[in-house]
Chains A and B, each alone.
Chain A
Amino acid sequence: DTGVSQDPRHKITKRGQNVTFRCDPISEHNRLYWYRQTLGQGPEFLTYFQNEAQLEKSRLLSDRFSAERPKGSFSTLEIQRTEQGDSAMYLCASSWDRLAAYEQYFGPGTRLTVT
């Protein structure tokens, strides 16, 4: 069990560019979550997968955001036409199932800076 990993850890991009982040959950965890954390705030939910199915998306997830989890393993979060307001820490978490009492394991995050 190597924990949840995220890549890259830091990303600096210019406004208008597209960026993609990757999350590798703990192996055999079937649930995967994306959260966004801005400075001085707690994480806010973005979207959630059970296996490969995207079951819920927050209204925070505008049309410029898209997330996938092909084959129910790793997940990617893409932001198109980045804006300065997208600057934040993007956190990924995974969990086993409801029987695991909903414990979510978090990755180290990807810090995005849009200049």
Chain B
Amino acid sequence: AQTVTQSQPEMSVQEAETVTLSCTYDTSESNYYLFWYKQPPSRQMILVIRQEAYKQQNATENRFSVNFQKAAKSFSLKISDSQLGDTAMYFCATLDQGGSEKLVFGKGTKLTVNP
């Protein structure tokens, strides 16, 4: 069974600074996807960034980038130039490509960006 662990329940960062959110996972599959989802207060969850496990290159989306360490089963999210609108819950999730299409989520990290 897949598991996802986010060891930082809460984090805070000053506006314009950089913050890294940690995630480790476990899966027995060789083909899988990893995701970071953002859930702003009282708003719906949106996809931040996606990584395909067979790709060695780390994914980037504007100010968001990941550090994917496959052997260590680590998938951290770096947010550069943090903005007030980045304040949200961030969930790391995994999906096995060959089997069920369900997402397995971690418990989340509450990120607060301070002005």
Contacts and interface: CB of A to CB of B under 8 A. Distances in A.
Q: Do A and B come from one complex?
A: yes
B93 interface: yes
B44 to A, nearest CB: 5
Given A107-B44, A108-B43, A109-B44, A43 B50 contact: no
A85 interface: no
Contacts of B105: 42-44
A67 interface: no
B104 A45 contact: yes
Category for how many chain A residues contact B? 20 to 34
B61 interface: no
B33 A102 contact: yes
A33 interface: yes
A103 B50 contact: yes
A21 B52 CA distance: 33
Interface residues of B, number: 23
A109 B44 CA distance: 7
B62 interface: no
B101 A42 contact: no
Interface in B82-115: 91, 93, 95, 97, 100-108
A23 to B, nearest CB: 12
Interface in A5-24: none
A91 to B, nearest CB: 7
A74 to B, nearest CB: 17
Given A102-B33, A108-B43, A109-B44, A41 B103 contact: no
Contacts of B91: 42-43
24 contacts: A31-B101, A33-B103, A40-B107, A41-B108, A42-B93, A42-B105, A42-B107, A42-B108, A43-B45, A43-B91, A45-B103, A45-B104, A48-B101, A93-B103, A98-B101, A101-B33, A101-B50, A101-B52, A103-B50, A104-B47, A105-B47, A106-B45, A107-B44, A108-B43
Interface of A: 4, 31, 33, 35, 40-45, 48, 56, 58, 91, 93, 95, 98, 101-109
